[in-house]
Structure 1
Amino acid sequence: MESKRIALSTGVSLNVAMAGAADGKPVILLHGFPESHRTWRKLAPLLGEFQLVMPDLRGFAGSDKPQNLDAYRTDVLVADLLALADAMEIERFALVGHDWGGAVAWAATLRGGPRIERLAIINSPHPLIFQKSIIDDEAQRAASQYIRSFRETGMEEKIRAMGLDAFFDKSFGAHVDLGSISAEERKAYLEEWGGDGALEGMLAWYRASPILVPAMDEAGEYPAWLMSGVPDVHVPVKILWGMEDKALLPCQLEGLDGLIDDLSIERLEGVGHFAPWEAADKVAAALKPFLAKADL
């Protein structure tokens, strides 16, 4: 991967990694929490025929980290994506999102703009299904209680007090074999998290999100945005789901066919939340034929 900082018309500069073929079909890949463009470190070499654009999203790693919570609202994050495509002179593209990057990818696609040619999602829930499941599904609500913790005032100081090493173990220990992450990779994570404003920027994604997460003993009511519904998706969508995900349960796959015109789902058995590097070969095998169909 080669990286450079790119100033966007939205007022931030992002660190953007690029790989693959300069004349290949453009694919923008959006990472999640608590990662960076390095989410794709094992996947990128397997997708070398495509033009891969992999930004550190605002608030993460080498990109700008605004400290204003409004800087992390959904419309702003979608605007970053489109401004990045403008800055790189990419008119139309395929979009791949994991975790929070998937949330941006869903939001951008739901808006129906013509620039997104097809969408691939890796363990990132459709917002309507996610919100309903947090209210109605006891197991998913329990699995989502960490969001309430991340929204607490002073959580960044609590993380610093426990130590970034301990936070690393808590972040990944429930999802992957910690021994599978090299000392070099661990060091890279800790360096990214230790940057000025890094924890604040990452946690802002949770604090600015409109997703409502009631406590386990609360009744829970649907928020107004859910009651008004969301648009259907009219571009082809490929869902890859690590079925061992402890935070986002398989109930997130239920009902998608009623919201998406052209949907395919591939369940990755024995794979957890961090599928892009935990099982890069399986993810690449599923993505390559889907992305190759892009009419760009």
Structure 2
Amino acid sequence: MRGTVEGVTDSAVLTTFEEHRPTLFGIAYRMLSSVADAEDIVQDAWLKWSAVDVEKIAQPRAYLARTVTNLSLNRLQSAAVQRESYVGPWLPEPLVTAPDAGGGVEQEETVSLAMLVVLETLSPLERAVFLLKEVFGFSYAEIGEMTDRSETAVRQVGSRARSHVRARRPRYDAPAETRRKATEEFLAACLGGDLNRMMELLAPDVTVWSDGGGKIRAALRPLHGADKVSRWILGIIERHLPEDLGVHPVDVNGRFGLLLTTAGVPDDVFTVELDENGLIAEVRLVRNPDKLRHVTVPEESHSDHAEPGAG
């Protein structure tokens, strides 16, 4: 860390940066869908921030947001190359916290796994403009300065991105308690081998995405239909259910989910989306161990794999 700059102490520089850290992480994570990459971007932004004359920066939040946005756009170029060779379905790296732990800007509807998947369908610039305007409240004039484009140009990009997101975002957001009950009941049915109950809880056109990245057992393509999904899950459980399975209620990107562990080590992050009838329309299983490295197992959590809703 550098010394005093133009009468501004290191402490003041750090305090200003920490004040905006939640916003910076929120931008980077939504841009990259990776906790590790977002943390790296925030650290790089700090290094740049600690080297400038802070007294000459009239709007620290906008300056830092521009820094993080451009760093994220650069990182996305290499991420796109890696994504082309990714094995099987790709899902965002989950943000996993203790239930009801709260949090900053990252715990919102726009950071749900379902929404991050929608954001992935935007171009990098569209994603940046949409997030900066719709999530973080910057004006198009500010975004134009951040991206070195005219206000008119970014306004057009923002309009296109907003229409794209509106057409693809989840149309129904189930109440938290309904989501919790459906998630726990479905996992209990799975672990209990109750095919009939599984079928009752699943929408007929349910889809399951299982992200193993080629590093752990997972379906190599999305699976569709209640019967196929149920039998695939039961087949996995019958062959690979460990005796030391742990089931931990957690918040996954601000919403209820389950963390499954083997011998206390994160093995799977499990989330569902419901339709208007309360049936499970989407199941997402993040299994790639690279995407679970940052996950901490909650200290107070049950591990009775026969009854995940108990405790």
TM-score (norm 1): 0.28
More helix by share: 2
Higher relative contact order (CA 8 A, sep 6+): 1
> Highest Rg: 1 or 2?
2
